[in-house]
Amino acid sequence: MRRRTRLWLLLPILLVSPAIASDQLQIDARTTSGVSIARSVQGTNLVSLTDRLVKAEDQFAAFAGQSYVASLQYSGVKNAAIFTSNADGTSVNVRIPSTGFNRTFTGANRDDVNKQIRDFVKKDGAAELADFQEKVNRLSLTAVSDGNPRSTTAWLSNQAFRSFGFDGRPPFGAEGDSVVPGLRLDFDGGSFDTDDGSGYYFEAALSTGFKLGSRAAISLTVPFQYRNVDGSDIFDVGFQLGLPFQILRKNWGGKLSGEGASEVTWQVSPWGVIAASGSEDLVAGGIMYGGGITSLLSYQIGLGGPEGQPNNLTFSLVNQIGFYHGSQISAGGYEFKNDVDQQVLKNGLAVAYSIGRSLWLDASIIHTQFLRDSAIDHYWTPGAGAGFFLSKNTTLRVAYSADLGTGFTGHNGNVSLSFGW
């Protein structure tokens, strides 16, 4: 059993695609006078790529002594920024068409101009870059903070939905709610392919819950996510606090161990979350905070079975609304300002069939909708899983799901370990 468990823990990593289709960043440059020269250069770090352009180094060395115009493609957004330079590189105009930003940097030489641009990106330009990132969230399917199934807002929404809705535990038993005292570890990994780029991710979450009387509980979760989008690194870490409480629990026919018995439960969970996201490569990220409420309505039917090993069937309806807002953070010498203002609506249906105290099977379908402007309006997530009792209070579940939206396809694997007390 120990060797098999180790193999299951590798499932999310095995689903990760090692192939990276292209880079998130690309500069297309051409001379505007003299010798006709053109270069198209890809990269994974925005500052490094623009350094080489402005200083006319490496792949852009041919532009030394030449005036040029260059266009930046950022996360699939074409003409994200336009650079126009004189021949000796002492005057470089930077224009961001989507925000209206237009500034000329002048200096004694290329290095001086490059330092001014770097300083602007790291410090003074935080508000301007936040405005730019807001536009990217509406246009790019690989944006860092918002607007796609792997963005920070979607990730936080998924965490709450898992904690208070489809949490992958065995179908409801004697406790009748979705938070049980104990410790839970979740490991997820997968790959995604979009019209704006491809990548892979890995995430982990540590959760615990404590009873507050017979019908209420407190839930704490610390999630972490790493994304690699066409070679560019992105990190997320958060903290989630929830207070689920059971509004209704109605039983017909006695204990669910008896055939024909049934039970309805309705749980409502208000929650709050705070998270930090950042990508030095893409010069994007910031602090995000928010909250919401999750409703879980379940109907369970007892199917009979051996004494102490009843079979049952559970149908669940989960509805959730989350509100997310951005703020500013300093990291790695950069000022990351986040202007996200998003609302995420999730609705899902699930069915689970348990076979005594040995295993259970489940399947679900979830619809996610971004209520504010975003690159993708909505997407579907079908999924299925199988769970096993390793001991009386220890369970293991493995699952697969897919994120399906216009221009976006994701494949996700999950391994969950729960230890009750």
Identify the pLDDT of residue 308: 59
What is d(CA 75, CA 284) in angstroms, rounded to the nearest whole number? 11
Going by pLDDT thresholds of 50, 70 and 90, the confidence category of residue 162 is very high
Mean pLDDT score, 342-367: 92
Q: Is the pLDDT of residue 21 over 60?
A: no
Among 5-14, 236-245, 320-329, the minimum mean pLDDT is found in: 5-14
Going by pLDDT thresholds of 50, 70 and 90, the confidence category of residue 305 is low
Going by pLDDT thresholds of 50, 70 and 90, the confidence category of residue 332 is low
Task: Specify the DSSP class assigned to residue 216.
Answer: B
Mean pLDDT (the chain) is 87
- Grouping H, G, I as helix, E, B as strand and the rest as coil, residue 372 is coil
Q: What is the pLDDT of residues 53-97, one digit of tens each?
A: 999 999 999 999 999 999 999 998 999 999 999 999 999 999 999
Q: Which two tokens stand for residue 188?
A: 């997820």
Going by pLDDT thresholds of 50, 70 and 90, the confidence category of residue 303 is confident
Letter string b/e over residues 358-384, b meaning 16 or more CB atoms within 10 A of that residue's CB: ebbebebebebebeeebbbeebebebe
Nearest of 45, 47, 89 to residue 66 by alpha carbon: 89
Identify the pLDDT of residue 396: 92
Orientation of helix 110-119 relative to helix 46-54, angle to 10°: 150
Q: Where are the alpha helices (DSSP H) in 42-109?
A: 46-54
Q: What is the pLDDT of residues 211-221, one digit of tens each?
A: 888 788 899 99
